[in-house]
Chains A and B, each alone.
Chain A
Amino acid sequence: MAADTHLEKETEQVQDIWNGGTEPMKASYGKLMMWYFILSDAFTFASFLIMYAALRMSAEVWPDPNAVFNSFPFVHGTKLPLGFVTVMTFILILSSVFVVRAVQEGHRMNKNGVLLWMFWGIVGGAAFLGCQAWEWNHLIHQGLTLTSNPFGYYTTPQVVEGQTVDVFQGYVNLAYDHEADSFSLPEDNKGTKGEEIPANASHSEGNWLFGCLFFFITGFHGFHVSTGVLMNIILWIQAARGVYQRRGHYEMVEKIGLYWHFVDLVWVFVFLAFYLL
């Protein structure tokens, strides 16, 4: 083989040039791959959130998040704006912290530590998904779907330049009648700001895009969380079987951890877009 002639060990010169033994980015290829995947996935989420912004900016009416997300499980009668989503967000961030601890234990080659903190990480992820399921269920029960939106508004007829037109007065959470599949003004006859709705007002459904975007984007994020939980469970089983102990390092925990933190970070933006703005 002529190729063999090139194979003499040549270790002279070639200083300050990476020589194939250590990685130039101080990261293994697997970790780099995860970083590039995250970058790639960030563009997917960015496209969705930019779309959300574009559609919302061009919408005439948009529900007030304080009036939409004000329910809490087992709490009736009291409005707690953004209360539940705060709990959800806290759980997800806490889960990220647990995974950080698991990575740390991995560096110490402490198998039991990894298993313990991964377990809590998985519990956190699953709890977040449970919360999301409850919230979705609650909103659907209120009548929010891809093609209906109870978070509407009311108008009153007024005479403008000699013509009678309906003028926007305020937002109202409409009551959903499951039997008739229709919306009506709420029983207390109050708008979202607690104001009395005049008798001559007529009501309209909210923008359907709110439901479309909410279910699509939080659903896409929830799908990411679900795959994350699944990967964490596989990771936990592998770790429990001692695969990483034998391999001599827990880098896989770190790689999946990167994904988990990314999903957490994305939630911050989703939270911002739907709940805060």
Chain B
Amino acid sequence: MAELHNPAIEVGHDTHAHGHDHHGHDDHDHHELNFIEKYIFSQDHKIIGKQFLILGMLWAIVGGLFSIFFRLQLAWPDESFPILEWFLGSWAEGGKLSAEFYYALVTMHGTILVFFVLTAGLSGTFSNYLIPLQIGARDMASPFMNMLSFWMFVLSSFVMLVSLFIQTGPASGGWTAYPPLSALPQATPGSGLGMDLWLISIAFFIVSVALGGLNYVTTVINMRTKGMDFFRMPLTVWAFMFTAIIGLLSFPVLFGAAVLLEFDRLLGTSFFLSDIYVAGEALHHSGGSPILFQHLFWFLGHPEVYIIILPAMGIVSEVMSVHSRKPIFGYKAMIFSILGITILSFIVWAHHMFMSGLNPFVASIFVLFTLLIAVPSAIKVFNWITTLWRGSIRLNPAMLFAIGFVSLFISGGLTGIYLGNSTLDIQLHDTYYVVAHFHIVMGLAAFYGMFAGIYHWFPKMFGRYMNTTLGYIHFYVTLVGSYAIFWPMHYLGMSGVPRRYYDFTVFDQFNQYADLNKFITVAAIIVFAVNILFVLNFFYSAVKGRKVTVLNPYGATTLEWTTPIHPGHGNWVGEIPAVHRWPYDYSINGRDFIPQTEPLSAGEVEDHDIGSDTPNITDPIPGEEGKA
């Protein structure tokens, strides 16, 4: 297939030349795209990635603001806040948040952050942006489906946004949407139209994930440039590929659960409902099982946390290696631990259901698998730490957030070992201990990975640098703030304070933590403010930041830095560069870094292929000359 390397055909990337490909790739050769084609209904993976990022950031502000609202209620349940009434209207009459809307806020906070920010905003952004650039492809396998994926996310966002403004309010049965609370409109105002819109929005979102995921997987497998062997792919690409596979296999089950729940709501089926009495009257349902919904939900719900964390892990691996000027430690171990996490993620879901009446024998199996996840996770953590060891570390904001990620992943991961035990879970289930655990290990850690990625690839995205001073402020305040918010929650949880409660003042045993709750809220407000500063920095720097003047500002080895500073649709001018080595040749053979595009020199062996007894690094570690 020699003609593949003719640029004119290469942009079609498939000699079979399917009809739609011509629209996707060749347009820039034929005519100038107008504004709408270029920035709105764009089929360029780079623009789509940025679209995901910006919509994700907008949702992050909304979701973050909601958490501030309900934190105000938890810290000062007796005070009134006029600002709440300004924002929420009749849901906060006289500045006092209503109990119904407290639950709606909690539900929306979870839904928005988990799905719209940390799934679409994180994996959507970076999978789109980095996969073609790092594997050496002109674009995704199907740019049209890629565009559709983003617009399904927009549609999903729109439906969810509408649900915030309807009279009965948005869904308020928790982001897990357990029936019967979510199935019966009589249960709470939010279980009316708000719940229908929630389910429709999630269904659209799943279509978006499927369209995106199909593209990510096939692009990685089928569209790598010449020489881009699987074991020459950056860890980011590995992570995105496994993330897409998890999404493709777990989201359909949530789709099934959502459709079934909607049937129960609209058509009177009884899949998740059994004999229920509301206000003394028997409902017209019989035979179903609400626990079944929990199984279906968590079959997605648990892999979902890996959908969130794996891209962050990939980004952190890449950022850490570049800014330590060292090869990533244990490249293949990193890949196989991602694979291990991917497989294990599908067989641990019932650890969310230890308290649902699960057979203790079954629970013990899920405990075993859950604790097994500690093995690949620990391998990754040790590899990151060893990558840092004796590196020439650049402490720029991207690197700081990558290191922060590891810190949070350890802190949150350790509490996961406790929660994964079904016996300890009897005490800790549905307490603030759980809230602290998953916010640190998956919420914050994923955010840190996202920040690391944004700071690191911002020069590639916009051709400008972000303001570093604001970046430092952003990092240090966020790091201290993160622990200030969630560390105390461990104590609350261990003493049995339940999550999702509207007001603790009526319970004497929980009332003693009133000051701690105030402290948490103040920390949350500060962190939120600093992250608004980050958003301002992002948009200001995108327009007014210091311009990038060199192709490869970090001295990175990967392919995205061989594209022009402002890459057009098609990424490379002329032919796509071929790849000759793995992506982590840093501080090797007496050189700072060797790009992937540079052929191996005579007698050189690719680093990740050599055994420990085959010396390859001719750059001796200072003070240990002769040992190498």
Contacts and interface: CB of A to CB of B under 8 A. Distances in A.
Given A6-B597, A33-B214, A51-B260, A39 B249 contact: yes
B210 interface: yes
A207 to B, nearest CB: 6
A249 B15 CA distance: 11
B253 interface: yes
A249 B14 CA distance: 13
A34 to B, nearest CB: 9
B256 A47 contact: yes
Contact of A37 (B210, B255, B256): B210
Given A3-B564, A47-B257, A249-B16, A208 B248 contact: no
Contacts of A13: 580, 599-600
Contacts, number: 172
Q: How large is the interface on B (under 10, 10 to 19, 20 to 34, 35 or more residues)?
A: 35 or more
Contact of A212 (B5, B229, B270): B270
A10 interface: yes
B577 A7 contact: yes
Q: How large is the interface on A (under 10, 10 to 19, 20 to 34, 35 or more residues)?
A: 35 or more
B394 interface: no
Interface stretch (A52-60, A65-73, A86-94): A52-60
Contacts of A212: 263, 269-271, 288
Interface stretch (B69-77, B215-223, B417-425): B215-223
A180 interface: no
Interface stretch (B310-318, B440-448, B568-576): B568-576
Contact of B221 (A32, A39, A243): A32
Contacts of A163: none
B224 interface: yes
Contact of B267 (A6, A48, A146): A146
Contacts of A147: 268-270, 284
B16 A10 contact: no
B253 A43 contact: yes
Contacts of B223: 29
B572 A3 contact: yes
A209 B599 contact: no
Contact of A48 (B214, B248, B250, B256): B256
Contacts of A208: 270, 286-287
A247 to B, nearest CB: 7
A254 B287 CA distance: 43
A169 to B, nearest CB: 21
Interface in A17-69: 17-25, 27-30, 32-33, 36-37, 39-41, 43-44, 46-48, 51, 54-55, 58-59
A7 B575 contact: yes
Contacts of B292: 51, 54-55
B228 interface: yes
A120 to B, nearest CB: 26
A77 interface: no
Given A7-B577, A146-B267, A247-B16, A58 B289 contact: yes
B248 A39 contact: yes
Contacts of B215: 33
Contacts of A159: none
A29 B141 contact: yes
Residue among A3, A9, A13, A23 facing the most chain B CB atoms (10 A cut-off): A3
A7 B578 CA distance: 8
Contact of A21 (B16, B136, B226, B572): B226
A46 B222 CA distance: 28
Contact of B225 (A20, A30, A251): A20
Contact of B263 (A44, A54, A216): A216
14 contacts: A1-B564, A2-B562, A10-B578, A20-B224, A20-B225, A20-B578, A21-B5, A24-B221, A43-B249, A51-B256, A54-B289, A55-B288, A216-B263, A216-B271
Interface of A: 1-4, 6-7, 9-10, 12-14, 17-25, 27-30, 32-33, 36-37, 39-41, 43-44, 46-48, 51, 54-55, 58-59, 146-147, 207-209, 212-213, 216, 243, 247-249, 251
Given A20-B225, A146-B267, 5 more contacts: A6-B578, A20-B576, A43-B250, A146-B263, A216-B269
